[in-house]
Amino acid sequence: MDIIEATHGDGLGGSSIQYGFSKEDEKTIITTAVQHAKQAKIAVLLLPGVGTIEHLKRAHSYGASVVRVATHCTEADVSEQHIRAAKELGMDTVGFLMMAHRTSAENLLEEAKKMQDYGADTIYVTDSAGALTMNEVRERIRLFKENLSAKIGFHGHNNLSLGVANSIAAIEEGADRIDTSLAGMGAGAGNTATEQLVAVMNKMGIDHNVDLYQSMDAAEDVMKPMMKRPVQIDPLSLTLGYTGVYSSFLLFAERAGKEYDVDPRDILTRLSEMGAVGGQEDWIIGVAQELAKEKAKATV
Amino acid sequence: MALAKEHGLKPIYTSIEGFQEEPELADIVFEATSAKAHQSNAPILKEMGKRAIDLTPAAIGPFFVPAVQEDANSVVELDNVNMVTCGGQATIPMIKAVSDVVGVDYAEIVASISSKSAGIGTRQNIDEFTVTTARAIEQVANVKEGKAIIILNPADPPVLMRNTIHMQLSEDADTHTENILASLEETLKKVQAYVPGYRFKADPVIQGKIVTVSVEVEGNGDFLPTYSGNLDIITSAAVKTGELMADHMMVKEY
């Protein structure tokens, strides 16, 4: 394993009522990771609009050496200040284009070029909704490979059960970095599971540096006991991938569905129609109230 | 520039230098460039004896939110006043509405604006937006700790400006619920007086110590499209501030 990310799911400064509070503060999370990592570099996530350059400087002082600067796939220009600041700090700097299914491959490339111009060393195709299918991943990675000098990464979610398949497709098209998590721990139906991807890469003879049994054991013995809710493909997480909704919306939609007695799948579908992007968890309550009102009207 | 001419105004093509050559043209200057530009313009305007109403997040002068600071006496004498941010103008009145009833320990706002209405100034100064808004929440709405998040949404047709405010009270809301709702309602009307398209997007939710309020801002659609409610709310606030200043200056003259 080359890089380990240690940050709130919505990045530095993400601990909030909107996204949920972190159990530990940023300093503890980052310094603990830095102290225990043997050869892996420690990364942080930064969403311009949520976290600031001040947050980044602090994270860097705690020992983080990689930063992933994340924007919605069509809004790369909000990352200019942050990517430049990260380069000035001497960090391994990544541009992270989220919800990559929401724009064409050609347009995604244009946004990637902006991040490359600002100085990003690596640009990611980030499938935040787990909504891309294999050909769509191939097309995006291939265009990046043909037109960018930066390294290329892929971040998948397993909502359509394509986490491993999409990651393999990305590798075959020349991706340099692939995101995984132990036992697939992550939003929605989770991310690509480390141990699963390692097993498939072994069978396909693709080179890497992760031990299969150790990753299996870490997933089983360390990660799974910490997980409150099983990360799985169920009607809700499948709906995320099917309608292309940001994976972190799952828990909020589930809660709002219960509270307002509406089908959480309808909440997600409505959010998809409205074009909600990552970070707009606050829209969920409004949609649930709206659906409840419509339901009350229909039954009168 | 052409539009300005049509309205009988004199455009200056050479920025602040052009204005320095003809200082008699205006007594009040609305700064609508960027935080960085205002940092260099502010001392020049001060030197010239002009008043600046700053629509950038430069925050050189004190913050002003007309719906909250009705006692305008403090503002009319200032030579530089800052209009916070669009997100601040849209949310601080609601936070103040709650903090007038019961103590607010923490307030966090999430402003969603359409990508089309976010100009290069906002995009290149997104940190200034969040930092300035958070500080203004603390100072103007009387909250111990403020936080601001901004999200650009590229949906087409463009989304209306939407602001969600999460507040953590110093005590359980129970006995205050009615007063909080009444105060929010009253504030809504106050803001609507200068921004008619300002309204609740969801019913306020009060659970224990947490209060969540969601407001939408539909622009007037006169000079800017209706999805630019974010621009309308800060320009309307700035115009109101300018009127207060101008009234005061006229009174002084006669």
Task: Please give the structure tokens belonging to residue A33.
Answer: 């990771």
Q: Quick one: B166 and B47 in the same domain?
A: no
pLDDT tens per residue across span A103-142: 999 999 999 999 999 999 999 999 999 999 999 999 999 9
Higher-confidence position of A228 and A138: A138
Q: Quick one: B76 and B158 in the same domain?
A: no
- What average pLDDT does range A222-247 have in this prediction? 95
State the maximum Cα–Cα separation within chain B, in Å, rounded to a whole number. Answer: 61
Residues in chain A: 300
CB contact under 8 A, B126 and A283: no
CB contact under 8 A, B159 and A286: no
Catalytic residues of B: 86
By CA distance, what is A55's nearest residue in B? B127
- What average pLDDT does range B224-237 have in this prediction? 88
Predicted ipTM beyond 0.90: yes
The pLDDT score that the predictor gives to residue B121 is: 79
Residues of chain B above pLDDT 90, percent: 69
Q: Quick one: B157 and B34 in the same domain?
A: no
Q: Quick one: B122 and B166 in the same domain?
A: yes
pLDDT tens per residue across span B42-62: 999 999 999 999 998 888 999
Mean pLDDT of chain B: 91
Q: B6-10, B74-78, B237-241: which has the minimum mean pLDDT?
A: B74-78
Interface test with A, best of B106, B124, B152 (most A CBs within 10 A): B152
Q: Is the pLDDT of residue A225 over 80?
A: yes
Q: How many domains does chain B have?
A: 2
Q: Quick one: B142 and B238 in the same domain?
A: no
Please list, in sequence order, all residues whose beta carbon lies within 8 angstroms of the beta carbon of residue B28, skipping any fewer than 6 positions away. Answer: B50, B51, B52, B53, B242, B245, B246
Q: A49-53, A149-153, B88-92, B193-197: which has the minimum mean pLDDT?
A: B193-197
Q: Is A159 left (phi over 0), alpha (psi -120 to 50) or beta?
A: alpha
At CB < 8 Å, which residues of chain A contact B? 13, 16-18, 48-50, 52-54, 72, 74-75, 77-78, 80-82, 102, 274-280, 282-283, 285-286, 289
The pLDDT score that the predictor gives to residue B254 is: 59
Percent helix, percent strand, percent coil in chain A, to nearest 5: 50, 15, 35
Mean pLDDT of chain A: 96
pLDDT band at B252 (very low <50, low <70, confident <90, very high): low
Q: Is the pLDDT of residue B225 over 90?
A: no
CB contact under 8 A, B152 and A274: no
Q: Quick one: B66 and B78 in the same domain?
A: yes
pLDDT band at B36 (very low <50, low <70, confident <90, very high): confident
Whether residue A96 contacts residue A68, with contact meaning beta carbons closer than 8 Å, is answered with yes
- Please tell me which of the candidates B130, B156, B210 has its beta carbon nearest to residue A49: B130
Ordered by where they begin, the domains of chain A are 3-226 (3.20.20.70), 248-299 (1.10.8.60)
pLDDT band at A255 (very low <50, low <70, confident <90, very high): very high
pLDDT tens per residue across span A34-47: 999 999 999 999 99
Closest CA relative to residue B101, chosen from B195, B169, B191, B165 = B169
Residue range of the domain that includes B38: 2-82+234-253
pLDDT tens per residue across span A58-74: 999 999 999 999 999 99
Q: Quick one: B124 and B201 in the same domain?
A: yes
The pLDDT score that the predictor gives to residue B253 is: 61
Please list, in sequence order, all residues whose beta carbon lies within 8 angstroms of the beta carbon of residue B147, skipping any fewer than 6 positions away. Answer: A13, A16, B106, B107, B108, B109, B130, B134, B137
Question: Looking at residue B35, which CATH number applies to its domain?
Answer: 3.40.50.720
By CA distance, what is A271's nearest residue in B? B155
- Please tell me which of the candidates A53, A80, A275 has its beta carbon nearest to residue B155: A275
Whether residue A273 contacts residue A283, with contact meaning beta carbons closer than 8 Å, is answered with no
Q: Quick one: B196 and B92 in the same domain?
A: yes
Q: Quick one: B183 and B240 in the same domain?
A: no
Q: Quick one: B106 and B126 in the same domain?
A: yes
Question: Looking at residue B91, which CATH number applies to its domain?
Answer: 3.30.360.10
The pLDDT score that the predictor gives to residue B71 is: 67
Q: Quick one: B69 and B147 in the same domain?
A: no
Interface test with A, best of B86, B91, B108, B110 (most A CBs within 10 A): B110
Q: Quick one: B178 and B238 in the same domain?
A: no
Q: Is the pLDDT of residue A87 over 70?
A: yes
